[in-house]
Every structure is written in C-alpha cells, then in structure tokens.
Structure 1
Amino acid sequence: MEPAPLGEDGLAPDTGAIRTSATLDGDGTCIAQARHLAAEFLVSVQSVHGIPVSQRALDLTQLVVSELVTNARKYAPGPVQLDLRVTGGLVEVEVWDTDPMLPVARAADAGRVGQHGLEIVMAVCQGFEAQREPVGKRITARLALMDDPGGDIAGHRPL
C-alpha cells in the first residue's frame, strides 16, 4: 500500500481538499490496511486540521472501506485504489477496481448468509454512486463526519 504524496499541510496538490490515497495490491492484508488507513486519515482530519469527526463516523467509515475493498478484492483481479477525501462535512470513500461490472444491492433476505455488504454500505451512507471507468469501475460512498446535535445521523431524516 503506497499512500499518495500530499503536501506538508496534508492537502492534496492543486485541490485544497484534505485527502489521502493508497494503491492496494489485492492480497489478503489489503482489507486491514485499508481500514487502518481510513482510521489514521480521520484521526488526522480531527487532530491536525481541527475538523470534528464523531466516533460513529470513524467506525462507519472503516466499515464502508472494509466492505468496498472486500468486494473489490473478491470480484476484481489486480490492484485496488482507495481514495479518502473530506469535503463539506462529509468523508468521501472512493474505491476503484478493474472489474467494469457495477454492483447491485440484492433484495433483503434474512435467510441469506453473506452478501449483505452493499446493503450495509447503502444503509449507512448519505450518498452512494457507482460508475464505469475507461478501465474498471469507481464506487463512491459519502458519510457525515458528525452526528446531528439532536441525535440523528447528519444527512438522514428521522422516519
């Protein structure tokens, strides 16, 4: 896993966004590496840049990263690119892999063992999109950095 070079201030060159990237080789350790990178990134967002990050956001970001990288490793041969970016009170998690097939969330089925990852990701995110790239696909999930002071997850409306 090689993090992309950032400026001394932790900002991506030319964008002003707080971000980090890593190319994962797709081996058995890449999921744990991705989760670790996500945790380190959000801790840095809070400690270095002073942007509040709730424990819930940290935990959910690691969960989303884990599920998306797991799917990439399972269904696409080759490397996986993980990009994390903070923008507008959200953390964006982007995962690129070599398989052009877009994922489809399956209908809920309590009897099904496994294959609930995409359902989980879509349930905890404020935004989700999948797009084909010239090679492979890119999945983007957006999560709120903070919970609403009223106790609701920021970005979600109470039912």
Structure 2
Amino acid sequence: MEQRLEETEDRCPATGRVLTRGAVFDGDSAMIGEARRFAADFLGGIRTEHGRTVPSHVIGAAQLVVSELVTNACKYAPGPCLLDLVVDGDIVEITVWDTDSTLPVPSAAEPGRIGQHGLEIVIALCEEYDVRREPVGKRVKVRLADGEDRP
C-alpha cells in the first residue's frame, strides 16, 4: 500500500480545516483489511493530530463502507484501487476508484439472498451516494454525517 497525505486549509470557513488522506492499494484481497485500518487510523487520529473529533459510530460506519467498496473493487476490478478520505466539519467523504467501468447497481431486496448486500448496506449508511464512470474505470463517492443534531 502506498499512502498519499494531503492536508488543505479552510475550504469553508464555517467548518474549519479540511483534512484529506489517500491511499493506493495493489488489488489483492489483503487490501480490504488494509483499507479498513487506513480509514480507522486516519479518522481516529484526527483528535490527536488536529484536536477534532470524529464520533466512534462514524468511524465504524466509515470502516464498513470502505470495506464494502474496496471488497467490490477487489472482486470485480483487476489492478489497483484508490481510496480517498475527506473530513470537512461533521462530514466524512469516502471515494474509491477502481479499474472496472461497470457501474454497480443495488440488487432488489430479497430476504433469502445470501451475499451481495454490500451496496445496499453502503447506501443505507450514507447521506449521499454517487458513482461515475471515469476515462479509466469508475469512482464511487459517498458522504457520511455524524448524525448529531446541530443548533
């Protein structure tokens, strides 16, 4: 796994500093666990490194979303996978790029179906879900919010 670290200053004065971190994975099945740890380490470390907090339930949801999206990339797209994480205020944005241009489609609800529920889980956890073809492959972007009511 190769990591890129990028931190940017205020994009939006109301939310403070926008933090981003990205990683490149080589495409084997070990990347699923690596991606989950990468997300947990980055989101959990924000308090120590930047004095901000990402709630534990958001870190857990982000790990699950990352796991599902990277698993799909591992199963269906040969080659590398890119993972970008952005924390902007109370929003966590997760983007996964892979080499397969086939857009994922959630399956119809079937209680008896075994497996293939990952995309349904991702969509249920996220406030926004967007998938787009790229010149090579596709990019899946989701946004999680911390779920707290704001005054």
The question of a shared fold, defined as TM-score above 0.5 by the shorter chain, is answered with yes
Report Cα offsets for 1:24-61 as digits up to 9, x if no partner: 00112100000000001101222222222111101000
Distance in 2, matches of 1:128 and 1:23, equals: 21
Aligned residues of 1:96 and 1:136 also touching (Cα < 8 A): yes
RMSD: 1.9
Q: 2:83 is aligned with what amino acid?
A: L
Please say which of residues 87-96 and 32-41 is displaced more in the overlay: 87-96
Report Cα offsets for 1:136-155 as digits up to 9, x if no partner: 000001111x2325xxxx8x
The runs of 5 or more residues in structure 2 that have no matched partner are 12-16
Aligned residue for 2:4? 4
> Higher strand fraction: Structure 1 or Structure 2?
2
Structure 2 residue 107 is the aligned partner of structure 1 residue 106: yes
Structure 2 residue 21 is the aligned partner of structure 1 residue 27: no
Structure 2 residue 109 is the aligned partner of structure 1 residue 140: no
Q: 1:104 is aligned with what amino acid?
A: V
Aligned residues of 1:24 and 1:79 also touching (Cα < 8 A): yes
Aligned residue for 2:60? 59
Give the length in aligned residue pairs. Answer: 145
Name the CA shift for 1:24/1:12 in 2 (closer, same or farther; >3 Å): farther
Name the CA shift for 1:5/1:147 in 2 (closer, same or farther; >3 Å): closer
Q: 2:147 is aligned with what amino acid?
A: D
Q: CA deviation at 1:12?
A: 4.6
Q: 1:75 is aligned with what amino acid?
A: Y
Report Cα offsets for 1:91-115 as digits up to 9, x if no partner: 1110000001110011111100000
Residues 30-49 of structure 1: matches in 2 within 5 Å? 30-49=31-50
SS at match of 2:140: strand
Question: Percent identity at matched positions?
Answer: 50
Structure-1-length-normalised TM-score: 0.85
Structure 2 residue 83 is the aligned partner of structure 1 residue 82: yes
Aligned residues of 1:12 and 1:20 also touching (Cα < 8 A): no
Structure-2-length-normalised TM-score: 0.89
Structure 2 residue 44 is the aligned partner of structure 1 residue 50: no
The runs of 5 or more residues in structure 1 that have no matched partner are 155-159
